[in-house]
Amino acid sequence: MQLIMLGAPGAGKGTQAKKIAEKYNIPHISTGDIFRANIKNGTELGKKAKTYMDQGLLVPDELVVDLVADRLQQEDAKAGYVLDGFPRTIPQAESLDAALAKMGTKIDYAIDVEVPDENIINRMSGRRACVKCGATYHLEYAKPKADGVCDMCGESLILRDDDQPETVKKRLGVYHDQTQPLIDYYSGQNVLKEVDGTKDMNEVFADIVAILGE
């Protein structure tokens, strides 16, 4: 079962990817995790990626695809995987398809967690993070016991810059420009499945399981 998760920042695709990985006993793979593992282990690909990252540059698509392809060939991914946060663009998707074709495999489903922008802005602007221990809360879904105070360590909670409405709008703009075309791309391959991400987290997961099978 080879899966890709699609969805805007804050749509909840990462949460669903973790739940899928757990239920089907397949790895949840994000490019961030791949970069960190390769850099930590001092692999050739990791060293190449680090030279770009150290200069504050984006890692080129070709190298990212090589890193992902290498990860997908590891033993724990033989039965499948769920890719989260990759591909982000059409060129990345095409390169990934070419790499998978060389391995004699392909993507089974691209699952798009659909949430309107307005919901995402409201959702993310309700997040609060602890300045000390990093614990996260939500003013609607996961409130702290005392307003503005972390349950874990008693420090103040803040609205992170990333979650400010203006920042979220910008991130959504980038998503729609770059990543939205992937929805058409995978739709054209007949592997796209859409789920309503505005539902309760467990209902969204039940909808995904209905697509994938028990």
Catalytic-labelled residue, pool 106, 132, 145, 160: 160
Q: Is residue 36 among the annotated active site residues?
A: no
Instruction: Give strand ranges (E) for the chain.
Output: 2-6, 28-30, 81-84, 109-114, 127-130, 136-138, 157-158, 192-196
Q: At what angle do helices 31-40 and 61-72 cross, to 10 degrees?
A: 80
How many residues are given for the chain? Answer: 214
Catalytic-labelled residue, pool 48, 50, 88, 199: 88
Cα-only R_g, the chain? 18
CA distance 174 to 72: 27
Catalytic-labelled residue, pool 48, 50, 171, 199: 171
Catalytic-labelled residue, pool 71, 127, 128, 193: 127
Q: Is residue 127 among the annotated active site residues?
A: yes
Q: In degrees, to the nearest 5, what angle opens at C-alpha 33 toward C-alphas 75 and 163?
A: 145
Q: Is residue 128 among the annotated active site residues?
A: no
* HSE-up (13 A, CA, CB side) for residue 27: 15
Find tokens 């789920």 and name the residue: 195
Backbone angles phi and psi of 183, in degrees to 5: -65, -45
Catalytic-labelled residue, pool 13, 71, 123, 193: 13
| 207 to 112, 200, 213: CA distances (angstroms) | 12, 11, 10
Q: Beta strands 109-114 and 28-30: pairing type?
A: unpaired
Q: Is residue 88 among the annotated active site residues?
A: yes
Q: Is residue 47 among the annotated active site residues?
A: no
Active site residues: 13, 88, 127, 160, 171
